Amino acid sequence: MNKSPIQTHYSPGEITELNKAAEEAASAALSAIAKIPPGEQTFENTFIAFDRIMTDYSDSVRPLVLMGSVYPDEKIAAEGMSCEESLSVFNTCVFTRRDLYEVLKKQTPKNPGESRLHDVTIRKFEKNGLKLSEDGLLKVREMKKRLAGLETSFSANLNNDNTTLEFTSDELSGVPPSSVVTFKKTPEGTYIVTMKYPDYLAVMTYSKNSETRRKMYVAYNSRQAETNTPLLEKALFLRQEIAKELGYPTWADCQIEGRMAESTEIVMEFLLSLKEPLREKYAAEMAELLLIKKSYDPKAEGVELWDVAYLSDLLKKQKYSYDEEEVREYFPLDTVLSGLFTLYETLFGVKFEEIRDAPCWHSDVRLIGLKNPAGDITGYLYLDLFPRAGKYSHFCASEAINGRIKDGKYTVPVMAIIGNFHKPEEKRPALLTIDEIETLFHETGHAMHYLLTTAPYGTLSGYNVEWDFVETPSQTLEEWVCDSDVLKSISGHYTDSSTKIPPDLLGRIIAARNVGTGNLYSRLLLNSLEDMRFHTGALPMDVNEIYSRICEEIFGRRPPAGISQPASFGHLMGGYDAGYYGYLWAKVYALNIVDEFKKKGMTNRTLGLKFRDEILSKGNMEEGMVLLKNFLGYNPGTGSLYKHLGIKKGIAIK
């Protein structure tokens, strides 16, 4: 049996013990740095040692944290979730240690790489309160510890959410049989529908019954309302108190300092510049959908929020003869993955090979080895792509082992993609929609950023970059799905993989790609404004009321009564607080990069290698804007985004 690059099976209590041992080892090693006499201190035995110790700790604990999102045993998964809180608390304790700060800040870097490590690390200490008095520092430390507990509980509640609704077959009319057969059936003959992504999307896209869709919409957007709403509101209060203690007007000001956007004012100017153009685009889309709705409901006066996915599917069928179920038949998961890996091999000069018989935490999980031209494994990628009880319920890329130089060699990074695609059916394999393919490209974009790193320092490697740059590689590579040649190359009918998607159907897919763009980007804007207003507004605040007001601002209507969307907005408590704007911000950069590929070819290896060498491999060794200029040869502007959206040009961003 092949050996797994990380431990994947645990006995009760083992994760807790391993976590404790990792903390103790790191604490002892860090204390040794703090005790080095001034005359014996060097950059190597202080700063480089600090990076090594923190990365060793991360490499020990991150695989344990991963288990909290994926492990099938509920009690062991809970230990993993607990490790996520301990990781946050431990990092807070480290970066509020004055003895370490005093030693590190005195050191003089000898080259640009060491200067970058120095500046990023010292800024992190100072943003944790090291410029404060001892009393202020202790207050920040204690508040951040409490905040970590709130964030972990919020995420655990969503992972363990088991909200379901019960529907009759009539109420599910229109939902494809391939989805209905996956729903649990009661003795009375009704169906139990979960809030997992495949269930939710199937009902929202295909159910002919408006009331069924409304019930799903309300339930999905109210998951964990009673438990998570107070956790979020407490977190907002703590974040604001921490920001004030650190000398910032708001939590957003604290978070955004040191990022590419530079300030809250610049972020808000960027977001608000999109509001009117997107409102016009959204209104035009809704008018088109309303015409379709009136064709079967002449008295209809408007398009409800739970109508959009259903009507958009009807629009694709009527305007483009586009049937998602027909399209899915040409995109079995295994065929798409094979095509995706072949594409990345062409672009980045690497090889992918499945490592069979390696132990994994669940039978659904696959392990992929990333190899260099010499055949050496330079990265590992776990794929955990189907929903199950207790598992993280959305899509994400999760790190496990960092790439960095250690003991004269470059370590092999390890990460996982966690997804929730349609499971294989009795007679058909897992089949993907175009949106799901785009999601797969997005998450593997994060994976390439993490696994192709060559940064020497673990704390600066992979996607440990400015938070409003982190989505650039992922949002770049997701655009390959819009290329007809790429789509054809990753297609193959599930009954015969050599049967590529027909040109006519391929053309209809490309033609229909812009359906709903205004709605998609309006939702991104909605969530970005929601996040920013939560983290800049006066407290206490009613988060549900704030959300409802922004819905009215963006969509022209409030959500239905009873909606508690903030309680299920995982990004707010999963590291994207005052950072969700980064999706739109980084999309600007991504589309500038994509424009270069469109000029020279989406499979141009020379440009692919340049993208790998100038951006993907660099980690945080230089500022994101420097990396972009090195690749593009010019400053990126918003023109590509506005062209992509088909709206009038707005302001520039830096």
Tell me the catalytic residues.
443
Residues in CB range of 590: below 8 A, 6 or more apart: 471, 472, 473, 475, 476, 479
Give the separation between CA 271 and CA 500, rounded to whole angstroms. 41
DSSP H or E stretch at residue 264: helix 264-296
Give the separation between CA 460 and CA 539, rounded to whole angstroms. 35
Give the separation between CA 54 and CA 458, rounded to whole angstroms. 8
Smallest CA-to-CA distance from 180 within 166, 191, 164, 194 is with 191
Q: Is the dihedral of CA 376, 340, 440, 581 positive or negative?
A: positive
Amino acid found at 390:
G
Residue 606, both tokens: 């020379």
Give the separation between CA 254 and CA 579, rounded to whole angstroms. 11
Burial grade of 106 (CB within 10 A; 0-12, 13-18, 19 or more): exposed
Amino acid found at 317:
K
Are 403 and 181 spatial neighbours (Cβ–Cβ below 8 Å)? no
Give the separation between CA 150 and CA 142, rounded to whole angstroms. 13
Give the separation between CA 580 and CA 528, rounded to whole angstroms. 5
How many distinct helices (H) and strands (E) make up the chain?
A: 26, 10
* CB atoms closer than 10 angstroms to residue 231: 20
Residues in CB range of 11: below 8 A, 6 or more apart: none
From residue 640, give the alpha-carbon distance in Å to each of 285, 371, 517, 581, 595.
Answer: 21, 34, 15, 17, 8
Using omega within 30 degrees of 0 as the cis cutoff, is the peptide bond preceding 540 cis? yes
Give the separation between CA 56 and CA 155, rounded to whole angstroms. 25
Three-state DSSP state, 378: strand
Smallest CA-to-CA distance from 476 within 640, 643, 346, 619 is with 640
Smallest CA-to-CA distance from 384 within 160, 76, 72, 70 is with 70
* CB atoms closer than 10 angstroms to residue 485: 11
Q: Would strands 377-384 and 414-418 be described as parallel, antiparallel, or unpaired?
A: parallel
Residue 190, both tokens: 């009704």
Q: Find how far residue 496's CA is from the centre of its chain.
A: 33
Give the separation between CA 186 and CA 189, rounded to whole angstroms. 5
